[in-house]
Amino acid sequence: MYFEKPGKESTEALLKIAKEYADSNGVKDIVVASTWGETGAAASKLFKGYNVVVVTHHTGFSEPNLQQLKEEHRKEILENGARIFTGTHALSGAERAVRKTFGTMQPLELMANTLRLMGEGTKVCVEVALMAADAGLIPVDRDIIAIAGTSQGADTALLIKPANSARFFDLKIREVIAKPREF
């Protein structure tokens, strides 16, 4: 499925498409990027009974000491049986500080920008799959569905064979389930 444009407007349709795909193909591990938690809460409800991992921004992403995940969404995600992972972004981390301070990119951010050739959601899907695998929350020996978006909501779903960050090049994007055409 290709959405005409990126953004939050595609979230409901994207989640339904991903659920149909998961059911049809026996995929039981779902990783969802969610900043404030709205998308994570919706996914945790729809995918109840699956191994759902909601990956949030690390504390301090937008400003020191601020965790952007809203408490009401955190509570709903956990009540629906999903797990939450909050950690440093696999494709930036301290390298973002190098870019902001010295004006130069390092390898991880170059890799992230290369993935953005397929859209922001593609980059984030890969990143959250790495992060969830590193936390031991998803297996690396079977395919998962990663869900992410462009700025807000969800507009991208990929079938991914995950890997740990230390084995980044073992990760495989197997199928594009849905993404925006324009980004």
Query: Would you list the domain boundaries of the chain?
Result: 2-180
Model pLDDT, residue 56? 95
> Across residues 81-98, what is the average pLDDT?
91
Residue 155 has pLDDT above 90, yes or no: yes
Mean pLDDT of 163-168: 97
Please state which CATH number belongs to domain 2-180: 3.40.1380.20
Of 72-81, 87-96, 121-130, 132-141, the range with the lowest mean pLDDT is 87-96
How confident is the model over 37-78, as pLDDT tens digits? 999 999 999 999 999 999 998 887 878 887 888 999 999 999
Strands 152-161 and 29-33: unpaired
Residue 77, H or E segment? helix 71-79
DSSP string, 82-136: -EEEE---TTSTHHHHHHHHHS---HHHHHHHHHGGG-HHHHHHHHHHHHHHHTT
H-run or E-run covering 3: strand 2-3
Mean pLDDT, the chain, integer: 95
DSSP 9: G
**Distance between terminal CA atoms of the chain?**
15
Question: Is pTM beyond 0.85 here?
Answer: yes
Contacts of 78 (CB under 8 A, 6+ apart): 84
Question: What pLDDT score does 177 carry?
Answer: 98
